[in-house]
Structure 1
């Protein structure tokens, strides 16, 4: 067998890059969902099960570990919240959706992991204090960074249930220094 020239090896490497280790985050199987504080302290809050769907897509199922959350009755709604410097309340996406992801598109998963924060002493739920974790594939799995979202946007169903209703112009950067759980990881 002939030895490959350095130029040809470089050409192959550029045209056919090796999938990063994080791509394993999109293989079939069970992954843990962690919310992370600024200092890296993390807490597993549930699991995610990936199943092969079509082409480069995977279907998923989220199961939250609800016994970690406390029940709160806020603004006439029962909510499951984590307690800390802020209440971090899980807001399930309320409409039908396909529950699929690909290595380039995590929008449906981002919709299934919505939260709302509030100070423990504040009255009621402030849905404009929504948290939307914008996600990307990393070498260690999937990592999301908190962004601000007015959850009132989801008060009525979108016209097209097959498209994620939250778009890039609906989310804003969040003051990560002020938020208790600014990151999410799935690995």
Structure 2
């Protein structure tokens, strides 16, 4: 083949600034980023260091139920960011330890995404018109039994129970720091 016979078609390089997103997509993207920013500012900003969270010198058995309640009240506010991370880690563990649940969730989320993205218009196949409604029905007929087989309620209640035991156990055993003593004095003055 002669070098002059080869044709190279160059397409323009699209930069992210050249791509146009629809207005609802942009609004949803802005809402998601705002939600993430506010979550980071409120919860994740209050994460205490691991040395403070796992300070075994401050662990002790409460003398009575009133002291345990006071500790839980104080520590759930003071360590709220850490407790959110504990719940998140336990949730990830729960989902990863049940592969069928992970597959069912991925199937349903992927199915919704694919139907919304690629099948907005009806398609004719073999003399039948397939609409979005038919696709959603098929997704539910397959996805719901798969999800029920994965027992998400068991996983949810395990997550609630495990989180409650870990968080309430930590909060009731951890003695409040010295800063809590100054906070009560400051409130009375």
Structure number having the greater helix percentage: 2
TM-score by length of 1: 0.20
Q: Higher relative CO (CA 8 A, sep ≥ 6), structure 1 or 2?
A: 2
| Higher Rg | 2
